Amino acid sequence: MASAEEVAKEAERRDIRDRWLLSAPALLVIFFAATGPLLIVLVYSFLTPGPYGDVKWHFSPEAWISVFMERDIFDDTLSLAAAHVTIFWRSIKLAIITTIATLVLGFPTAYFMATRSEKTRDLWLFLITIPFWTNLLIRTFAVLQIIRNEGLINTVLLKLGIISAPIQILFTDTAILVGMAYVYLPLMVLPIYASMEKLDFRLVEAGYDLYATRFQVLRRIIFPLVKPGVIAGSILVFIPALGAYVTPSVLGGGKNMMLSNLIELQFGQGRNWPLGSALSIAVMVIVMVALLAYVRNAGRSEVRHG
């Protein structure tokens, strides 16, 4: 006869097994839904392009080579793919600037919201989420209506006689940045607000009691405590900003390609699916490396503060 201990062990073992079995279907679905499409992209990046789109099932490293190197069509020399580097850098730069801009605008907003009374806080939160009810494309077109030559800003300035000819804002880098900052601002505000709301403001008072200046309180007390929110917000803004497609094309005029346009070109008029796949994977790797570096860096400095 088994001892009570053995029975208990057996029950525990069965319990664990049942848990695994029961969660297996969900786990499998998530695993394949997450990795399946990525695997296809990865496999496609090593195939030969079909003549009119699609792929031929012949192994070829050509796509990966052309991500980094380009053969000049005129003198046939192989060199670094300058066009790709320029386009990658343009997207990365835009994502970084957007993140900084939303942080600069979002941090005080979140602070303002968190310092209101509990009742009004909900109202502010509600107001911040309102833009999410509208489609991204429509919000972008709304910005366009405001900044275009016959738009709100120019019309008002002309009427007031401050300017004599419309200022060209639409189709400039400023227009893209304004649009991006507007579209992604809530994604920065919400996580910062979530951390800020939990902040114990008695600590701030204590800081003042100990003769800390306003700036010292911000830098040494508030910022370290809401840092998780800042990190989460930055990630939430940076990643979609890197792949932004609608906002730069509508407000920037589409003269200069973004990463997403370059990838889209390969699956559309360029008819080079393997290159498009390879570029997509390259972007993923960049994002992953950037995130790892960012999170590790942020984590380390937190220890110093601790």
Partner 1 sequence: MNWKTTATAIGLALLASTSLARADGELNIYNWGNYTSPDVIKKFEQKYNVKVTITDYDSNDTALAKVRQGGTGFDIAVPSQTYVPIWIQEGLVQETDPGKMENFKNVAPEWANPEFDPGRKYSVPWALGTVGVVVNTDTYKGPADTWGIIFNTPDELKGKVNVVPEMNDVIFAAIKYVGGQQCTTDKEVLKKVRDTLVAAKPNWIAMEYNTIEKMGAGDFKATSDWNGSALRQRLANPAIHYNYPKEGFGLWSDNVVVLKEAKNVENAKLFQNFIMDPENAAGLSAFHRYANAITGSDKYMPADMKDAPEVVIPEADKPHAELQLMCPPDVQELYTKIWTELQK
Q: Is 271 in the site for partner 1 (CB under 8 A)?
A: yes
Cα–Cα distances (Å) from 211 to 48, 84, 175, 222, 226, in that order, read 68, 53, 43, 15, 22
- C-alpha span between 91 and 241 (Å, rounded): 8
With b for 16 or more beta-carbon neighbours within 10 A and e for fewer, the 86-101 pattern comes to ebbebbbebbebbbeb
Q: How far is the CB of 162 from partner 1 (least distance, A)?
A: 20
- C-alpha span between 250 and 263 (Å, rounded): 17
* Interface with partner 1 in residues 36-65 (CB under 8 A): 49, 51-54
* Interface with partner 1 in residues 133-152 (CB under 8 A): 148-150
Cα–Cα distances (Å) from 265 to 257, 261, 302, in that order, read 10, 6, 42
* Interface with partner 1 in residues 164-203 (CB under 8 A): 168, 170-171
Closer of 241 and 257 to partner 1 (Cβ): 257
Both tokens assigned to 265:
């070109």
* Interface with partner 1 in residues 236-265 (CB under 8 A): 249-250, 253-257, 261-262, 265
182 neighbors 139 (Cβ within 8 angstroms): yes
Q: Is 272 in the site for partner 1 (CB under 8 A)?
A: yes
Q: How far is the CB of 43 from partner 1 (least distance, A)?
A: 16
Q: Is 220 in the site for partner 1 (CB under 8 A)?
A: no
Per-residue binding string, partner 1, 65-84, x by CB under 8 A, is -----x--xx-------xxx
247 neighbors 177 (Cβ within 8 angstroms): no
Closer of 76 and 209 to partner 1 (Cβ): 76
Residues in contact with partner 1 by the rule CB under 8 A = 49, 51-54, 70, 73-74, 82-84, 86-87, 148-150, 168, 170-171, 249-250, 253-257, 261-262, 265-272
